[in-house]
Amino acid sequence: MSQTLPDSAASAGAPAASSRRWWTLTTVALAQLMVVLDATVVNIALPAAQADLGFSDGDRQWIITAYSLAFGSLLLLGGRLSDLIGRKRTFIIGLIGFAAASALGGAADSFGTLVAARALQGAFGALLAPTALAVLTTTFTIPKERARAFGVFGAIAGAGGAVGLLLGGVLTEAFDWRWNLYINVVIAAFAVVGAIIFVSSLKRTGPRPKLDIPGTLFVSGALFSLVYGFSNAETDGWDSPLTWGFLAASAVLLVVFVLWQRRAAHPLLPLSIVLDRNRGAAYSSVLIAGAGMFGIFLFVTYYLQASLGYSPIQTGLSFLPMIGMLVLAAQLSTNIFVPRFGPKIMVPFGMLVAMSGMIYLTHLGPDSSYAADILPPLMILGFGMGSIMPASMQTATLGVDRQFAGVASAMVNTSQQVGGSIGTALLNTLAATALTDYVAANLPASPEVVAEAAIHSYSVAYWWGAGFFAFGAVLSALLFRRRGQGLSLSHSAAPAADAAATEPAEPVIAH
């Protein structure tokens, strides 16, 4: 389909729709940035918040865990609610709720209030994140426009963590730790105005589908147990009964959920969505990339600050070239390479590039320089992630019935969240074990030995992160269909366009 078709269509009858599509993308991008960066922006503020509110080191983890537990466990529910009550309504509710929870956290005068605010942020984030992607999915049906939009969205999803580190450092040093939460109120205000103007209301005909209450309870419990199990492994270790208890409960609940979905009259997640080979490959790729990415942000941040003595702002600035390379790769991938080669080539390619960047990081030492030793692997990793995320996200929501666009989008966020939880727990545990073993093998434990042990533990984490990406390369190469088999990214907008023309579902573009 040539690019002249939508232009002529616009000139013939709907000139406003074409321009408003891109304002819709801007609005969705703001919301996605707010949700993604909030996973890391608060990390930089934690020491200052702890000193201000006086909570213990043991309690500190709950500022992070409260958000991830609520977010991870409620994502599928949030995605399905956007299908049932309408994208625009859900989107605005999510924005206002997230902003209110952020304001509550910024004004917190106690540890309990801050944890409650973070849990509320996670709950409204679970409503907002899949709805944002669903709006994008149903708005952009022309292949070239869809590719460009998903390039922007995928770049934000991949770079949001690094942006959060930079923004957190700037706000904490220049203002106060509370502004790491207040900033969401500002972002949400602009996004709400954009949503009111550019995202249209749901227009539904026929009976409204019912919410699958048992399925919601099963999968929310399973995701809660999964995220909590891995979070507990990070803090209490893999030998903790609580860790394995929650992981076992998660496995049981997931099995029950799948069995229920096979017989439910109104399934929360139709199994055909995840059993499609291309979409299954896309969800797996997002999960593996999410697990590997934590090896970048978590341990490179530790290394820069603890080993090289960088300030929070310097640490955030160090990631900027990576973000630039990620954005560049995302645009090149979605506009040139994915339409030509398809995800079967581009996603494994991105995995291998990211793997090489991880291996490069294993050579960092106590005297490494930024320009020669840190900048090149970060840029390589940025290019790899920019090749993985947009193609995977676009494929994950491709060809899904419009009435299930929200829950299909939620699976993308769920995959990324679960991948992050797994990656954090596994890599932290492996790094901590490597550090302990190194110190034990090099007694007495002088400050120099401890510093070398820390760098050694980071290197172990990078090697495992490289292993994640290597596994992802093999898996995605095997699972993604060849071009011409099933849905193709360059021609697959037709089903969505046909659905938009024939189904009495919501028109996302405002007229």
Tally of domains in the chain = 2
First to last CA, the chain: 23
Residue 11 lies in a domain: no
Comparing C-alpha atoms, which of 28, 76, 59 is closest to residue 408? 76
Residue 68 lies in a domain: yes
Residues 173 and 312 both lie in one domain:
yes
Residues 223 and 105 both lie in one domain:
no
Residue 1 lies in a domain: no
Query: Quick check: 406 and 87 in contact, CB under 8 A?
Result: yes
Residues 280 and 351 both lie in one domain:
yes
Residue 385 lies in a domain: yes
Output the pLDDT for position 406. Answer: 81
Residues 365 and 259 both lie in one domain:
no
The three-state secondary structure class of 199 is strand
DSSP H or E segment with residue 397:
none
Question: Which DSSP string corresponds to 346-390?
Answer: HHHHHHHHHHHHHHHHTT--TT--IIIIIHHHHHHHHHHHHHHHH
Residues 139 and 250 both lie in one domain:
no
Instruction: Domain of residue 49: give its range.
Output: 16-211+268-502
| CA 247 vs CA 28, 257, 289, 509: distances in Å | 34, 15, 21, 42
Residues of the chain with pLDDT under 70: 1-19, 57-58, 158, 200-209, 295, 483-511
Last residue of a domain, one of 249, 267, 285: 267
Question: Could you tell me the CATH number of the domain that includes residue 462?
Answer: 1.20.1250.20
Residues 229 and 98 both lie in one domain:
no
| CA 132 vs CA 31, 287, 416, 492: distances in Å | 7, 19, 15, 21
Prior bond of 444 cis (ω within 30°): yes
pTM: 0.80
* Residues 6+ positions from 445 with CB-CB distance below 8 Å: 439
Last residue of a domain, one of 242, 267, 292: 267
Residues 357 and 250 both lie in one domain:
no
Residue 196 lies in a domain: yes
Residues 125 and 219 both lie in one domain:
no
Distance CA(205)–CA(431), nearest Å, equals 55
Output the pLDDT for position 501. Answer: 33
Structure tokens at 196: 């009111």
Residues 329 and 196 both lie in one domain:
yes
Residue 141 lies in a domain: yes
Output the pLDDT for position 250. Answer: 95
Residues 242 and 194 both lie in one domain:
no
